[in-house]
Amino acid sequence: MELDFFIKGRETLFGSEYSYQDSDYISFGVPYDLTSTYRIGSRYGPRAVREASGNIELNSVVNPFSSIENLKLHDLGDVIFCYRLSRMLRRVYNVVRLIISSGKTPIMLGGEHTFTLPAILAILRRTQKVTLVILDAHFDLRSEYLDLKICHATYLYHLLRRAKSRGWEIEVAVIGVRAYDKEELDNVESFGVEYFTAPNVVREREDIRKRINELTEDKMVYLSVDVDVLDPAYAPGVGNPEPLGLSLLDALEVINSISPSASLAGLDVMEVSPLYDKGESSLAAARLLAEVLALFSMRRVKA
C-alpha cells in the first residue's frame, strides 16, 4: 500500500520487522505490576524499553565487531492484561511454551519479576534442566511476602520448590545481590543457591568471571536481569531501588563471562519502572539487551 512509504508501524523492540517465522528470537512484554510494594509502575516497562531500544545504535559497545543490526527478532507485543495474577502467570507460561515449542528463544520485557517464574517453568517442563543466571539486588527467596504467596519478592522460592519437587535440575547463581532478610539466607542455604554480592562483583572480578564461566559451560542458560541490580545512579526507575549496586559495565562484564559453549534458553529484563526517571533505566535496559543479544548472536553464527 502506498501509505506504507510514509507511515511507521507499531513500535517494536529494536525496530525489528522480521516475521515470526523468520526469527530466532521472539520478544513480548508483560505490563503487570500489581504485586509491587514500593514503586508501582513497571507495567509501563515494556513500552519504555521498546521506545528506548528504537533510539540507540545497534552496534555492540562491549564487543566492537558485533552488532544486532541483522538480528532475527520478532516482537509480539504485550501479553493481554488481566487483574488476576494466577491468570496472568498462566498466560506468560503459555506464551513461553508456544515460543520454545516453535524452536525460538523467548525474550520477556517486564513488568514485575514474578513472571520469571512461569517463563522458567515452561522451559523446564520441556528441557528438565536449566542453569539460571540472575542479576538482581534481591534473592526473591521469601516463601511469602505481605500475605501474598506468589509475588515479585517470592518467585525464586516457588520456582526452586517446584523444580525440586518435580526432580528438575536447576542450578542458580544470583549476582549483584545486596538486600535480603534472614529467611532468604536460610533458603539460599537449603536450595544451594550460589551468590555474589555487589561488592564482591567489583572486588573479586577475576574469580567471579571464572566461576560464571565454569557454571555455564555447555549449559542451557536462562538469563534474568532485574534492572535493580544496577546502582540507582544508573537505573533509578525500578520497583525497589537499592544503593551500592553495579554499574552497567560491571553487569555487562558478568554477562560476558557466560561460557561461549552455553546456549541461551531465554532472557528477561524486568522491573523497569519508567515513571521515576527521565529514561535512564529504560535506556540501560535496552543497552543491556542489545549487548546480550549481540553476544549470543555472535556465538550463534560461530556455532
Residue numbering of the annotated binding site:
113, 136, 138, 140, 226, 228
Residue numbering of the annotated binding site for Mn(2+):
113, 136, 138, 140, 226, 228
Identity of the residue, 228 or 231, whose beta carbon is nearer to Mn ion in the bound complex: 228
In degrees and rounded to multiples of 5, residue 194 shows phi and psi of: -85, 140
Identity of the residue, 33 or 228, whose beta carbon is nearer to Mn ion in the bound complex: 228
Is 175 in contact with 244 (CB distance < 8 Å)?
A: no
**48 closest CA partner among 232, 278, 242:** 278
Q: How far is the CB of 245 from Mn ion (least distance, A)?
A: 10
Residue 256: CA count within 13 A, CB half-sphere: 15
Q: How far is the CB of 228 from Mn ion (least distance, A)?
A: 4
Residue 239: CA count within 13 A, CB half-sphere: 29
Q: How is residue 2 written as a grid cell? A: 502506498
Q: How far is the CB of 270 from Mn ion (least distance, A)?
A: 8
Q: How is residue 197 written as a grid cell? A: 554480592
Distance CA 190, CA 45 (A): 33
Identity of the residue, 122 or 151, whose beta carbon is nearer to Mn ion in the bound complex: 151
Identity of the residue, 18 or 276, whose beta carbon is nearer to Mn ion in the bound complex: 276
Q: How far is the CB of 303 from Mn ion (least distance, A)?
A: 32
Binding site for Mn ion (CB under 5 A): 136-138, 226, 228
Is 134 in contact with 119 (CB distance < 8 Å)?
A: no
Q: How far is the CB of 246 from Mn ion (least distance, A)?
A: 12
Identity of the residue, 170 or 179, whose beta carbon is nearer to Mn ion in the bound complex: 179
Q: How far is the CB of 210 from Mn ion (least distance, A)?
A: 25
**110 closest CA partner among 102, 99, 118:** 118
Identity of the residue, 75 or 228, whose beta carbon is nearer to Mn ion in the bound complex: 228
The sign of the CA dihedral 282, 283, 284, 288 is positive
Is 127 in contact with 265 (CB distance < 8 Å)?
A: yes
DSSP 100-140: HHTT-EEEEEES-GGGHHHHHHHHHHHHSEEEEEEE-SB--
